[in-house]
């Protein structure tokens, strides 16, 4: 009989970058150390830039033993290899967070976009409770190619941003909030029901998905690209 992988083995997709423009992303929860080592060994050998999401410090240590170039942002729970620093985006991706407690999700979006070859600008803690801070940043947001708006509580920020600028807005609901926030469901439903037309909404706490989508929107197909600084490792 032909050799087939055991049920506990993983088969990394090393062809994915050719098909969709970026390498397979490692989703860390539920994976054994053996699986992480196997996947990391394959992907690190095949690609210069790799992301591992929802990564614990212990899982990072397992994968860093495979390649010491691997970096880690504890707040975003992201491990990443960022060796190819070419700028592949045609413009800037702006990341806006409503409050400081939304920053971990915002950072997941920001680092994802950076490792995928985009220039990123961060505008944190400018939610609707202090709307004057948002208003002062509107010219910066209008200059961006794509805006990611991250908010918990009642999730109003993306609707406000979407009604004030002409750029595409990706809304990220977070699970931050009191009881009736329902661990992000209230913010998610508010964003899906937004009166501001054309807002794109990703899943609760899915900064990675927002960063990936923004990168696809921003992708420059030209091969003549400048280089990026290192993605942020600080928590």
> In the predicted model, what is the mean pLDDT of residues 74-95?
89
> In the predicted model, what is the mean pLDDT of residues 208-214?
95
Which region among 10-19, 43-52, 183-192, 226-235 has the lowest average model confidence (pLDDT)?
A: 226-235
The count of other CB atoms within 10 Å of the CB of residue 63 is 25
> In the predicted model, what is the mean pLDDT of residues 28-44?
90
* Domains of the chain, residue spans: 16-82, 92-218
Q: CA 154, CA 169: separation in Å to the nearest integer?
A: 17
> In the predicted model, what is the mean pLDDT of residues 57-86?
91
Beta sheet of 119-123, edge-to-edge order: 119-123, 92-97, 146-151, 169-173, 200-201
Please give the full DSSP string across 121-164, using - where no structure is assigned.
EEE-S--GGGHHHHHTTHHHHHHSSEEEEEE-TT--HHHHHHTT
CATH topology of domain 92-218: Rossmann fold (3.40.50)
Two tokens, residue 145: 């190619």
Q: Which DSSP helix (H) or strand (E) runs through 113?
A: helix 103-115
What is the overall mean pLDDT for the chain? 88
Higher pLDDT, 85 or 95: 95
> In the predicted model, what is the mean pLDDT of residues 49-61?
93
């Amino acid at each position: 009989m032909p050799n087939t992988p055991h049920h506990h083995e993983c088969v990394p997709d090393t062809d994915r970058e050719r098909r969709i423009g970026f390498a397979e992303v490692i989703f860390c929860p539920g994976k054994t150390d053996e699986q992480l080592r196997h996947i990391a060994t394959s992907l690190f050998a095949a690609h210069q830039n790799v992301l591992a999401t929802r990564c614990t410090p212990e899982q990072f240590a397992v994968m860093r033993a495979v390649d010491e170039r691997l970096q880690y942002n504890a707040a975003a729970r992201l491990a990443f290899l960022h060796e190819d620093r070419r700028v592949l985006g045609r413009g800037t991706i702006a990341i806006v967070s409503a409050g400081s407690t939304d920053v971990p999700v915002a950072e997941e979006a920001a680092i994802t976009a950076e490792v995928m070859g985009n220039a990123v600008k961060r505008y944190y803690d400018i939610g609707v409770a202090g709307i004057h801070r948002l208003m002062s940043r509107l010219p910066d947001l209008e200059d961006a190619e794509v805006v990611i708006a991250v908010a918990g509580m009642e999730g109003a920020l993306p609707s406000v941003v979407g009604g004030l600028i002409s750029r595409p807005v990706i809304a990220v609901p977070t699970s931050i909030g009191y009881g009736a926030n329902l661990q992000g469901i209230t913010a998610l439903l508010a964003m899906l029901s937004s009166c501001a037309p054309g807002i794109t909404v990703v899943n609760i706490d899915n900064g990675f998905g927002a960063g990936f989508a923004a990168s696809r929107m921003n992708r420059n197909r030209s091969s003549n690209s400048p280089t990026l600084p290192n993605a942020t490792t600080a928590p």
